[in-house]
Chains A and B, each alone.
Chain A
Amino acid sequence: MKLPSSSVIASEAKQSFKDLIRSSFEQTRFQRALWDHAMVYVLTLCAVFMLFILFTILIHLFIQGFTSLNLDFFTQLPKPVGEKGGGMANAIAGTFTLLGLAVCVGVPIGLGAGVYLSEYANQNFAQVVRFMADVMNGIPSIVYGIFAYIVCVLPLKSFSALSGGFALGIMMIPMITRTSEQFVRMVPSQLREAGLALGVPKWRVTVDIVIPSALAGITTGIMVALARVAGETAPLLFTAFGNHYWQRSLTEPIAALPLQVFTYAIAPFDDWHRQAWAGAIVLILMVLLINGWAQFYVMRRNRWSSGK
């Protein structure tokens, strides 16, 4: 009988050792399939769980909101503490006033920056500005409130609509910059070249051809930014401050819908709670309608560009 040589034994041992390691560390095919199936359910569950919670909130809001809403809410001033009824007419008007002021601050700077980034800037500078705009988007809104307090409320020595609008306006700048740059960039370059070929200076091409072509998109971006700041409360707490009456001038404190919802929600009166729900539903409908409309617009535009 011939014994196997030592080298063969060694190599065989090595092989079996390798197999041992592999079998102890690797999963069987069944286990792998099991994991694969299990993860489908786990991940689906994550999505369903998330949707369930968010829908619970939405449904609750809608039921509470719509049962609390009445005509007085839109036409009446707030009643003094203890009296039932009244509405938030001044707060609704105040929110629109503030948004109007915010547009005056946010749109020129945001749009100007967006157009510059798309049409003129060199890439490094553009990247820096985009980066800062994104970072600005992440600064807590209450910090903008403090900034507006320092530069507007302190010099004017009074809480005012102006300072509230200013706070909301600077919050809109980064959002409008990013969206308007995207939409301006999407204007086909043939349009620009056609203009330039006619001997029109570049700035006339930008103003008369590029911006009008992108106008619908730019407007959408502005509306989305408006929807976002419309619900902001924190920057208004110590700039707009709130007001129980109609404000007579822009240098007076002014009521705003989200502010009023906050004040009423933390007050200990049932009727005020009801009105807070009503305010919430008006606010949420405003925000969702604008956003929904923007989504619809963007989808339609995407279909056009992919259809070509």
Chain B
Amino acid sequence: MIRRDTSDIVFRRVLAVFPISILMLVAGIFFQLVSASHLTLNKFGFGFLFHSTWDPVAENFGALPFIFGTCVTSFVALLLAVPVGVGAAVYLAEYAPPKVSKTISILVDLLAAIPSVIYGLWGIFVLVPFMRNTVQPFLGKYLGFLPFFQGPNYGVSFLSASVILAIIIVPFIISVSREVIMAVPSVYKESAYALGTTRWEAISDIVLSYGKVGILGAVILALGRAIGETMAVTMIIGNNPVITASLFSPGYTLASVLANEFAEATTNMYLSSLIEIGLVLFLVSIVVNILARILIWSVTKGPGQEIK
């Protein structure tokens, strides 16, 4: 029987303050964002989300162009990053020799640690000129009949932002889906081999179908990153609140309008509308992350290890 004296009980209670403060913090952020954006919440209501004017002078605010920009860039980024990311994860988990797999995984984790402002710097000076001089003219020439690839070519565009986002989220997709694939019990794969399947059939029909929920979780987690990614996008999207089908057009996202305008918001109304955009970002990222964690935990059986 463990000796229980009062010091033990006190210590336990004091220590319990810390985990509870984590829960309180999340609730506190929500509460603060709501109360600080009450001006626009009251004035515009849900119309804020479906209104496309952004006019700080007339104090008329609608977040639709930013929501549009965030959706477009995140979606295109996922379209680019998911096939490569999942493919690379399958390679690392199933095909690569253990040493190669381990080395590449460490590299991928290191790359995930590079600050996004540095990707943004690279984006401004390397990616944007490359998109302007090579990729966008090429797309305009051969796929110009699609509405996505029409319009003037500035270099700073939805497309450039999507590419940088894809580069930023690929390491996340790889490391989480690799973990999910490794968590699939090898018995299943071995049984498939015993039935005479090829390696690829065992992977595609057994491993991936067992792990698909977790991989979906990894993709949603990456979506969360893409939605919240601020600096790199702000530096190369062009900061122009429009709704257009053209990916060549400069755009704006929820996060980048905050980065650009928050410190300059002069009126209470302006500040309140920006904080409401922050609230939208907060709620979306909470929903996305909860969904992603549930999916990933369902495959890896509980919280995965942050550090292996």
Contacts and interface: CB of A to CB of B under 8 A. Distances in A.
Contact of A238 (B21, B229, B262, B292): B262
Interface string B1-34: 0110101100110011111011101101100110
A27 B28 CA distance: 58
A105 to B, nearest CB: 11
B201 interface: yes
A149 B228 contact: no
B235 interface: yes
B278 interface: yes
Task: Specify which of A32, A133, A262 lies most central, judged by the most chain B CB atoms within 10 Å of its CB.
Answer: A262
Given A47-B91, A51-B107, A292-B110, A113 B228 contact: no
A132 B22 CA distance: 8
A234 B95 CA distance: 39
Interface string A133-160: 1111111111111110111000000010
A146 B276 CA distance: 10
B99 to A, nearest CB: 13
B116 A233 contact: yes
Interface string A106-129: 001111110111001100011111
Interface of A: 32-33, 35-36, 39-40, 42-47, 49-51, 53-54, 57-58, 60-61, 64, 108-113, 115-117, 120-121, 125-147, 149-151, 159, 170, 173-175, 177-179, 182, 196, 199, 201-203, 206, 220-221, 224, 227-228, 230-234, 237-238, 241, 258, 261-262, 265-266, 273, 276-277, 280, 283-284, 287-288, 291-292, 294-295, 298, 302
A262 B198 contact: no
Interface string B136-171: 000000000000000000000000000000010011
Contact of A262 (B23, B84, B117, B125): B117
B275 interface: yes
Contacts of B224: 138
A240 B159 CA distance: 31
Contacts of B36: 150
Given A35-B200, A113-B18, A120-B15, 7 more contacts: A36-B201, A45-B87, A135-B293, A138-B221, A170-B25, A196-B3, A220-B307
Contacts of A241: 263
Contacts of B221: 138
B117 A129 contact: no
A41 B19 CA distance: 48
24 contacts: A36-B199, A36-B201, A51-B107, A112-B15, A116-B18, A127-B302, A133-B22, A136-B22, A136-B25, A140-B285, A146-B262, A173-B22, A174-B22, A196-B2, A221-B306, A230-B115, A231-B116, A233-B117, A261-B117, A266-B235, A288-B113, A294-B307, A295-B109, A298-B307
Given A43-B90, A43-B91, A44-B91, A203 B7 contact: yes
B198 A35 contact: yes
A109 B307 contact: no
Contact of A280 (B3, B83, B121): B121
Q: Lowest 7 CB-CB distances: which A-B pairs, in order?
A: A231-B115, A140-B228, A46-B87, A112-B18, A203-B11, A138-B289, A36-B198
A233 B115 contact: yes
Nearest to A200: B3
Contacts of A298: 307-308
A182 B307 contact: yes
A234 B259 CA distance: 7
B104 interface: yes
B79 interface: no
B238 to A, nearest CB: 12
Contact of B117 (A49, A113, A115, A258): A258
Interface in B213-239: 221, 224-225, 227-231, 235
Contacts of B8: 201-203
B109 A291 contact: yes
A201 B3 CA distance: 6
A126 B303 CA distance: 11
